[in-house]
Chain A
């Protein structure tokens, strides 16, 4: 700490940026120590994310019960000044003596007179009017569109169409390009966020392109106690990719899978329909090369 700040002494005020549970506690602690505190938050009120939670981990305490006493205390504390709807523009100076420029957005409410009755919220005309949002049509290649449209048409009228549609599209395309997911959302009426959530939830689906061959190293318990982790390490080493990655030439994707049910053959690896069982680390390089250094690939290059 430079000596001049010591000489200057402390500036008798602190700024806490962010009025969540952490910021609130910090403000209270500082104010308790006799320091004037400015508590700034970009929202219209302090409280942050915790105010939206029901319970908190790990004790499952009620979030409001933790927060409410602090809110009240901050509201009453003479040394804490709350700056809501505020953005920090500029910070100058050095530790112990900062000058901060804060801009406050307009609230259109006289805070000194407001009692917080909420009548203005209930009567605000813009709130009840639906704002139409223009959703651009999904840009999708015509050939893809036909393919996907056919699949959608087959399942659209059954109950719970989304899963069968996604499964078939996944089988046909090997992964989901974003445009396809948007198109599915548009055609089925499911929100895009929901379609995306489903497409990323299941391990059989992928939103990034996968290799021509997927090497599935079984990570089931039996395979694990028989050393499948060492197989995985060796595959990664040989292919020079990490698990869940694809080689740059898009030939091989390395993947750890949940039990493939070949526990009698543990440790086992599945590539397409072929299963390699009772593997040892020594055999891994041969299998990896069979797919990665693929003969077909060599021929394509030569041709």
Chain B
């Protein structure tokens, strides 16, 4: 391929595709063709760039200019100005929320600045569907080194020395796991890549497969060599069609290049890799459950020990590693264990990918060294909370994790520190919550999730989550009683002790941590029948402030239940008896009026019907009405 003057790295991860990235690609190509530029400028579809909150987005190489929130209408102008005339387009560049000036270069955007790209080093830089791109970035060098110069024991030793721990959440040392499996006498042995990423709010594994599938293929092949397996599986959620498609392509290409299959790179080592799809069950992310699912049995966990490394798939020794763990392996081999061990904290080495989502300005996927503080992640990388609101808590570890309160914002993040505050690393979801999030509602949400996904095998998890949910639901509906919180604590501890697998032993975490740090919110729900965040429907009412209402008719028109009374120039009143509390009126009330209010814990003031509107500022509201 001849060298191009400009390369446009267009993100085609799931988020951006949903935002219309493929239409942008067509528009770009058509426009480039129209200007006779296809030989000079090429469009490269890449995997997830990580800055999903700005999608659809593209990065212009070699200038490193970042454009976000693209629309098809912008494309003709962009092509003409930048790629034809060489004048970068200011208005499409990234605008930091607090400042006025746009930032043109990718490297200057704070979101990217503080990150450390190890596992995601190829994201947005290569075409994930071309093995050549991966090889050009030193891909498969580690595999070659392993097969030509290292014994399996050397590989295990190297990984153990690097201090790599499982990225699926529990943080078991990877080298130790491999060693146990290697020393088992029974053959065959199996290796499984776990991409059943069920945690809501976490999508790092999907992104990894979408942006750089070969790093997993190389990692899992090295792992197979180390433990002595000749057959491997990657278990992917069926909800990730794009990731499955890209991984399938990568496996085919690697087979064609002799990097998978019989006698890899001319050595005596053969390895076959297959994809197995899940079908939507959270519990299948648990390793024994996953094994049963591949076998076609009931996808329920079983008692450990024996661990899968001893007795696993079809009764044979099996190593199950998270996708992110495996993608770390090639880097450790080619750059050395000492280099890797130099990153991170005392007990947790390397980097971790988090999906930074929720009430945060810069939503996206980030890779940061272990030991970074929450403050750095939220304020520097995440760009703070939108709307100048206060940070209330950060939820890590999905339904198994806990909520870390604002007061622990200077916590350096690693496996141990998170455990200490009652949460866990989990697969790396990091959900930011602001003052508008009700912590009782959030813990109800998680228990609802685990209750639904509990396989039902052991009663502590099945019935315990039922009981927790019942009490939490009661509290959010304003029926909480004295002693409910103590009951939740006691039951939570019992479920923790008595459940068999990770799902049950961690499911009380969201409840226990919210009680630990946000006891006042529980008390407000129970004693004052008030939801401080004004989220719980039964405890909240919508009310139109007659002093602020400008009778613009918008909320009346949008109300799905016709429960707003009013006319032109007559102040609108919500009929509390008919209101279903859907919140549409709150959303549509123009921000400069801000007349619809949420009330909780106070009686709804009654407003007489038929009051005429008093217009103080004549100019603005009038115009607004014309618009409407």
Contact = CB atoms under 8 A, between A and B. Distances in A.
Given A163-B294, A167-B277, A221-B398, A275 B18 contact: yes
Given A162-B296, A167-B279, A203-B281, A259 B202 contact: yes
A222 B200 CA distance: 7
Contact of A282 (B239, B498, B584): B584
A281 interface: yes
Interface string B220-253: 0000000000000000001111000000000000
A197 B18 CA distance: 34
A234 to B, nearest CB: 6
A190 B278 CA distance: 19
B460 A219 contact: no
B282 interface: yes
B358 A203 contact: no
Contacts of B239: 257-261
B357 A222 contact: yes
Contacts of B279: 163, 166-167, 170, 202-205
B358 A282 contact: no
Nearest to A237: B560
B296 A222 contact: no
A258 B437 contact: no
B47 interface: no
A266 B357 contact: yes
Contact of B201 (A164, A263, A273): A263
A225 B295 contact: no
Contacts of B459: 56-57
Contacts of A227: 583
Given A167-B279, A198-B296, A261 B587 contact: no
Contacts of A233: 580, 582
A69 B493 CA distance: 29
Interface in A166-191: 166-167, 170, 190
B360 to A, nearest CB: 10
A259 B355 CA distance: 13
B587 A258 contact: no
Contacts of A277: 15, 18-19
Sort chain A's interface into a size bin. 35 or more
Contact of B358 (A198, A221, A265): A221
Contact of A265 (B19, B238, B498): B19
B18 A281 contact: no
Interface in B281-300: 281-282, 293-299
Contacts of B52: 262-265
A159 B17 CA distance: 36
* B interface majority secondary structure: mixed
A161 B463 contact: no
A280 interface: yes
Contacts of A170: 279
A282 B429 CA distance: 29
Interface in B257-280: 276-280
A163 B460 contact: no
Given A221-B358, A221-B445, A280-B587, A202 B280 contact: yes
B55 interface: yes
Residue of A56, A227, A263, A268 with most partner-chain B CB within 10 A: A263
B357 A258 contact: no
Interface in A272-301: 273-277, 280-282, 285
B359 interface: yes
B364 interface: yes
Contact of A281 (B197, B398, B582): B582
A47 interface: no
Nearest to B583: A230
B298 A198 contact: yes
Contacts of A275: 14, 17-18
A225 B203 contact: no
Given A257-B239, A277-B18, A222 B294 contact: no
B494 interface: yes
Contacts of A265: 15, 18-19, 52, 55
Contacts of A266: 357-358, 363
Given A162-B296, A221-B358, A281 B431 contact: no
Interface string B447-461: 001000101000110
Contact of B203 (A58, A167, A261): A261
Interface string A193-228: 010011001111100000000000001111011110
A225 B276 contact: no
B572 interface: no
A106 interface: no
Contacts of A112: none
Given A163-B276, A259-B203, A264-B364, A282 B558 contact: yes
Nearest to A171: B238
B395 interface: yes
Contacts, number: 176
Contact of A57 (B14, B15, B460): B460
A170 B280 CA distance: 13
A303 interface: no
Interface in A84-112: none
A257 B198 CA distance: 11
Residue of A57, A59, A226, A227 with most partner-chain B CB within 10 A: A57
Nearest to B431: A221
A136 interface: no
A172 to B, nearest CB: 14
Contacts of B558: 282
Interface string B423-446: 000000101010001000010011
B110 interface: no
B282 A220 contact: no
Contact of B55 (A166, A260, A264): A264
A60 B460 contact: yes
A248 interface: no
A291 B495 CA distance: 43
B176 interface: no
B314 A159 contact: yes
B588 A282 contact: yes
Contacts of A57: 459-460, 463-464, 498
Contact of A222 (B299, B358, B460, B580): B358
B280 A204 contact: yes
A258 B280 contact: yes
Given A225-B359, A277-B19, A261 B494 contact: no
A125 interface: no
Given A163-B279, A233-B582, A265-B19, A204 B238 contact: yes
B206 interface: yes
B282 A258 contact: yes
Given A58-B491, A222-B200, A281-B582, A262 B15 contact: yes
A227 B495 CA distance: 29
Contacts of B202: 259
Interface string B10-32: 00001101110000000000000
B437 A225 contact: yes
Nearest to B291: A160
B53 interface: yes
B528 interface: no
Interface of A: 56-60, 159-164, 166-167, 170, 190, 194, 197-198, 201-205, 219-222, 224-227, 230, 233-234, 237-238, 257-266, 268, 273-277, 280-282, 285
20 contacts: A60-B497, A161-B296, A163-B293, A163-B294, A198-B298, A201-B455, A202-B279, A202-B299, A221-B200, A221-B442, A224-B442, A226-B359, A230-B583, A238-B560, A259-B198, A260-B239, A263-B52, A264-B53, A265-B55, A281-B583
Given A275-B17, A282-B584, 6 more contacts: A160-B295, A163-B296, A201-B298, A202-B279, A221-B395, A263-B15
Interface of B: 14-15, 17-19, 52-53, 55, 197-203, 206, 238-241, 276-282, 293-299, 314, 355, 357-359, 363-364, 395, 398, 429, 431, 433, 437, 442, 445-446, 449, 453, 455, 459-460, 463-464, 491, 494-495, 497-498, 558, 560, 580, 582-584, 587-588
